[in-house]
Chain A
């Protein structure tokens, strides 16, 4: 007698197809942009053959100076914002994860996550108004300060998660062996936390690099970051060099996220 070919209790018809559709929807625009960035034709839509001319244009063409400066600004701000926000997040996570409960702990947690909860446009407006009201000149510094704020929760998450997973017996062993709190942190906790800190740093870096709305509001007239430069260019019409830049940023983001992912997973296996 032939056995009935049954379907598992978890299976639902169509779900696999929807998942594939979902992935296609998510990737199609990006992949198409990447493909067309290699288009050997001035017209953006007619395929003229594979070519790197638009990448050349990005680096050496008419607007390349503007984009180069914007990229330098973006990288500078991202590095500094990531460093500062990671330091602040590390400090905060120590207090939150290792500290005993205190009045206002929940409030602090809310505060750390506040930048995530306030809509970006509101943060942008509020920050702009703040700088204007105290007469703070808008420029690279104003961008940096704004970035530090919203980078903190992104750095905090992986760091706190990592710290949670580290048993406190190592610190106790250190203290038992006459280490000061500072030494215990520096020599014992910090190395163990490192994957989380690196992961948080990378996340903060990417988030700062990618930010548009807040940056656009607080940057002032003379300064551009890469996203604002791209936006400005798009407003004038999509040109192929924009697609080249987008592709570059795409690949960079992908690489950075993968590294962040690998670091946090490698750390876990130890």
Chain B
């Protein structure tokens, strides 16, 4: 089996303080595979940036190791690690031109002059800024500075490229364009990328796998699809996309199956993947786009979840519907505008809320 590119082994990071020590990371372990676009995703303070800086060598660990292709790089100083970083603030050297910035790492590695110039030229072509070689950073726009920062970090052909929320300062359209460019460059160079962001849409669009983090721990690692369709717990379900969380009572059935009773809907059958000992309370999740709505007729069948439309948000390609059920539960539904389902849905209208059994996901606490 191929060695993973990066091995995070039991990393704990505690910031000491006389009264309130802060635990930034708590026994984090996982692998990152070769040539993977791997994203650390989470809200502010979850530890993703701390972990990135630990890999780069700018922070010490309280416990644990970082292995790069099998080698323990934990004792190495940052300038000794074959790892390069694209900083959030770009950190281009203001007194050097674009080409001098891109050449910086190569010169420090004592590469021969001719080779350096060739490489710089190739990098500038890669980011399509060959005409800007002699400009200074302050003459460039935000997006251009970001591309130069990328080229500078790629020039020394590192074994690992770290990107610390590089797109956060760009406006929407530019950000979306850069996402595609970054993804393409990663595929082209074959370098393993470790990307940090708090933007879940960005993570989903670019990553091969995502590690969702919160409070210093990894909640779930998986492909964007896995993480979205099968979130393991409340946090992941709520952080990635929108989720409707519904409380249910589970009673065991044959094998690993269970019958889930909810307040508003008829009983649901799921396979829990484990044998239930007895009745158990748990949460289930249904994604808004799985919800379907029907106008409630005067004669409602028993066991139907009916409620009132509280609000409608027109979002262009779809409409977000906020419904309050008679039981008081809040439901979020997302209906595509091209579908006929909406019809004349209005605020205040009475609707029936339904979803297929296959859409139900059971969450761990």
Chain A interface (Cβ < 8 Å from any Cβ of B): 1, 3-6, 9
A1 touches B58 (CB 8 A): no
**24 interchain pairs, CB-CB under 8 A:** A1-B9, A1-B10, A1-B63, A1-B64, A1-B65, A1-B74, A3-B60, A3-B61, A3-B62, A3-B63, A3-B64, A3-B74, A4-B60, A4-B61, A4-B74, A4-B75, A4-B76, A5-B60, A6-B57, A6-B59, A6-B60, A6-B77, A9-B58, A9-B78
Q: Which residues of A contact B58 (CB under 8 A)?
A: 9
Q: How many A-B residue pairs lie within 8 Å, measured between CB atoms?
A: 24
- The CA-CA distance from A1 to B65 in the complex, in Å, is 7
- The CA-CA distance from A3 to B58 in the complex, in Å, is 13
Residue of B at shortest CB range from A8? B58
Q: Which residues of B contact A1 (CB under 8 A)?
A: 9-10, 63-65, 74
Q: A4-B76, A6-B57 are in contact. List 12 more A-B contacts (CB 8 A).
A: A1-B9, A1-B10, A1-B64, A1-B65, A3-B61, A3-B62, A4-B60, A4-B61, A4-B74, A4-B75, A5-B60, A6-B60
- Give A2 Cβ to nearest chain B Cβ, in Å: 8
Within 8 A of A (CB), among B50-79: 57-65, 74-78
- Give A154 Cβ to nearest chain B Cβ, in Å: 34
Q: Which residues of B contact A4 (CB under 8 A)?
A: 60-61, 74-76
Q: Which residues of B contact A9 (CB under 8 A)?
A: 58, 78
- Give A4 Cβ to nearest chain B Cβ, in Å: 5
Most buried by B among A3, A4, A6, A9: A3
Chain B interface (Cβ < 8 Å from any Cβ of A): 9-10, 57-65, 74-78
- The CA-CA distance from A1 to B60 in the complex, in Å, is 12
Name the 7 nearest CB pairs between A and B, nearest first.
A3-B61, A4-B75, A6-B60, A1-B65, A3-B60, A4-B74, A3-B62
Q: Which residues of A contact B57 (CB under 8 A)?
A: 6
- The CA-CA distance from A3 to B16 in the complex, in Å, is 14
- The CA-CA distance from A5 to B59 in the complex, in Å, is 10
Q: Which residues of A contact B62 (CB under 8 A)?
A: 3
Q: Which residues of A contact B59 (CB under 8 A)?
A: 6
Q: Which residues of A contact B60 (CB under 8 A)?
A: 3-6
- The CA-CA distance from A235 to B6 in the complex, in Å, is 75
- The CA-CA distance from A9 to B74 in the complex, in Å, is 16
Q: Which residues of A contact B63 (CB under 8 A)?
A: 1, 3
Residue of B at shortest CB range from A5? B60
- Give B144 Cβ to nearest chain A Cβ, in Å: 26
- The CA-CA distance from A31 to B10 in the complex, in Å, is 55
Most buried by A among B9, B57, B62, B75: B75
- Give B349 Cβ to nearest chain A Cβ, in Å: 53
Q: Which residues of B contact A3 (CB under 8 A)?
A: 60-64, 74
- Give A266 Cβ to nearest chain B Cβ, in Å: 30
- The CA-CA distance from A5 to B63 in the complex, in Å, is 11
Residue of A at shortest CB range from B75? A4
- Give B145 Cβ to nearest chain A Cβ, in Å: 21
Q: Which residues of B contact A5 (CB under 8 A)?
A: 60
Q: Which residues of A contact B76 (CB under 8 A)?
A: 4
Residue of B at shortest CB range from A1? B65
- Give B130 Cβ to nearest chain A Cβ, in Å: 32
Q: Which residues of B contact A6 (CB under 8 A)?
A: 57, 59-60, 77
- The CA-CA distance from A4 to B59 in the complex, in Å, is 10
- Give A191 Cβ to nearest chain B Cβ, in Å: 42
